Amino acid sequence: MAKLGSLLAVLVALSAAQVQAKLPGKTKYTLDDIRPLQDPASGLVKCCPEGTEFDGKNCVLGVPNCPENFVRKGDKCVSTIKPICPDGSDYSGSICVSTELPICPPPTVLKGKTCVTGPPTCPSGQEYNGKVCQSTQTPGCPENYKFNGKSCVSTKQPECPHGMITCGGNCISVQPPICPADTEFHDNFKNCVSTIRPTCEDGTVLNKDGVCVDEAGPSCPPDTSFNPTTGKCVTSEKPACPPGSELDPVTKKCVMTEEATCPPGSDLSADFASGTARCCPSEMIWDGEVCVFDTDETGKCPPGTTKVGQHCQKQPVRIPQCPPGSKLERNRCVSIEQPECPPGHVLEGGVCTSTEQPACPPGLTLTGSVCISTEEPNCLPGTRLEGTICVSIEQPACEDGFTFDGENCVSELQPTCTEEGSTFDGEECVTPHFPSCPEDTVFDGARCVATSTPSCPAGSVPNGSGDCVTTSVPKCPAGSTLTATGGCIVGVPTCPKGTLFDGKQCVSRKNPGCPADHKWVNGRCISTVPLECNEPGYHLVDGECVSENRPECPAGTSFDGTTCVGTEPLCDDGLVFDGEECAHPFEPECPPGMRFNGRKCVAEKLPNCLPGTVFVPESKLCVAISPPACPPGQVFNGKQCALESGDCLNFEYCPPTGFGEPNCVEGTLYDRHTGMCADWLY
């Protein structure tokens, strides 16, 4: 409780000395105000205060908002109303699909995207197994035909009219979808993209994030430069240290030129693993707990030290002494005074930072380490900004007879087969040539079987999948086109007034709204009012206006950057501070026949054991001097008594030479697990 009271007193003193001028709005948050937020772009998560959002690096103010009936997804306001499709169609993925299936002429029925008459039939006495009448063999096909695992198909691929190619069972135009003027279809975005990149104003340029930035970067006061890592103006002038000390370039602390001292007969020894140092007798080393060195060839230790194992050790109590105004850190004396910066600068992270904030040209605001324009990049009329490109508001279009399916212009015409007698089944040209088999076998859809060939009604052929395929092409309702999956697509959906279709959903034509003093710039709300401190003598640090004056400490103490530190702890006469407690400078004395092992007095003689046994330090047990004994003709194998000789090597497993168990000498039994004759009574 005494330590807690002292800590509270120090905190109160610091609070009174370090005055902070509050910025407008809430600047202090409790745990109840903190919540985990995820950046949709990077997927990273960070705990941020309520009213902010995580941008992948920091918690930022200016949370975008969307109008009623819209929800925010990334940098868009998405309508809660689904894309609208014409009557008789449903929205599926990115297109409108007719609720009516394609129609086949009777008596055929639709299966997939073909018209079939039903399954083949088998002669009397044969059973159709789902593909053919049962048998086995390797099928073959006539010349210019190939077996595709199901049937004989033409080696010639189905063809489409001039200006088209086959793709996914459809004929698609070789020409890209039609786009408005000054835009072209982009294969990656599957949309019409402006041929002119977004432009910036006021001498700014477009960066990789799609934001207009000043290439020159923020400006700083004379004799300072902008540090993009910290976002501050820093001077090249090093912080100054008190007399008798120098600035350490790594730790950024003032290290005394005068080294720590130890009493005569001892030397400073540091253990960098524990970060501590002690005064050890000459030639001994501090290991973080005791001073040690190895025993000599006699195995003895000099007077004043204790033998522990193969080491001689001594428990030190004296810590190296540092000059007044400094403290020991590892093996060096460090000033308790912090380095000082020139006027108009404060020490932050070991460097002198200007109290003046970096400045951006008019119309630009500092965000992170760049000056960002509050004006969004310009796109041509009829296009909108998405990332670093301008995308057309209008959807890609196709010529008459074609429908845009979200990627290509799909023709109303189906691929055709050039070879007489072959029929397009949605993938390949299926022929009436049934796969051939050796004598007395037929094809079952995958192999040759010993049975008759399945038959189909006139005008249809088996497709190898259990159906008789006809030449009839399924027809879609007027205004729709047959797809490779067998559905009828109507086209791209429409969206409610004030929204547009982005290929997946209806999004607002307007950008998300921003709070006061913020402006929407390419996916986020940028503050138009730079944060600054209006009170003289204050500068901005992590969103707070902090005084340029150092905190004041009570007499006899000095501020070390976090608290008020006094002199080294004092102990009563005859005691010394060992870094943790007040201790006696000499090791405890032990009674005759005892020695100090660094923790307690222990007997120099090992424990006694009963006659015939001896104490083993490793096992901490009294062990018999003689090993375990076995009857004549047997030896102890480390676990049991085993036969001394036999047909195999001693102490190894002997496999049985025949049926039954081996004969063992009198007084032993055969052990099936070890393959040995063991004395179970021993």
Residue 662: pLDDT over 90: no
Confidence of residue 652 (pLDDT cuts 50, 70, 90): very low
Instruction: Give dist(CA 184, CA 294) in Å, integer.
Output: 81
The answer for residues whose C-beta is within 8 angstroms of residue 543's C-beta and 6 or more apart is: 23, 27, 531
What three-state secondary structure class fits 625? coil
Residue 341: pLDDT over 80: yes
Confidence of residue 307 (pLDDT cuts 50, 70, 90): confident
The answer for residues whose C-beta is within 8 angstroms of residue 226's C-beta and 6 or more apart is: 217, 218, 219, 220, 232, 233, 234, 358, 369
The answer for residues whose C-beta is within 8 angstroms of residue 372's C-beta and 6 or more apart is: 211, 212, 213, 364, 365, 366, 521, 526
* Domain locations along the chain: 613-682
Residue 528: pLDDT over 50: yes
**What is the per-residue pLDDT across 104-123, written as a single tens digit (0 to 9) for each?**
888 888 888 888 988 887 76
pLDDT of residue 126: 65
Neighbouring-strand partners of residue 154: 145
pLDDT of residue 661: 46
Give the number of other CB atoms < 10 A from CB of residue 349: 11
Greatest mean pLDDT range, 75-79, 297-301, 519-523, 579-583: 75-79
pLDDT of residue 212: 92
pLDDT of residue 226: 93
Complete DSSP assignment for 149-173: SSSEEESSPPB--TTEEEETTEEEE
**What is the per-residue pLDDT across 395-430, written as a single tens digit (0 to 9) for each?**
999 999 999 988 899 998 889 888 888 888 888 888
Alpha helices in 476-571 (DSSP H): none
What is the overall mean pLDDT for the chain?
A: 80
Give the number of other CB atoms < 10 A from CB of residue 425: 24
**What is the per-residue pLDDT across 460-481, written as a single tens digit (0 to 9) for each?**
888 877 888 888 888 888 888 8
**What is the per-residue pLDDT across 221-274, written as a single tens digit (0 to 9) for each?**
999 999 988 889 999 888 999 999 999 988 889 999 999 999 998 999 999 888
Cis status of the peptide bond prior to 177, with omega within 30 of 0: no
Joined together, the tokens standing for residue 13 give 């003193």
pLDDT of residue 132: 65
- Reported residue count of the chain is 682
**What is the per-residue pLDDT across 549-606, written as a single tens digit (0 to 9) for each?**
778 888 878 777 778 877 778 888 878 777 777 877 777 777 887 777 666 777 877 7
The structure tokens 């380490």 sit at: 369
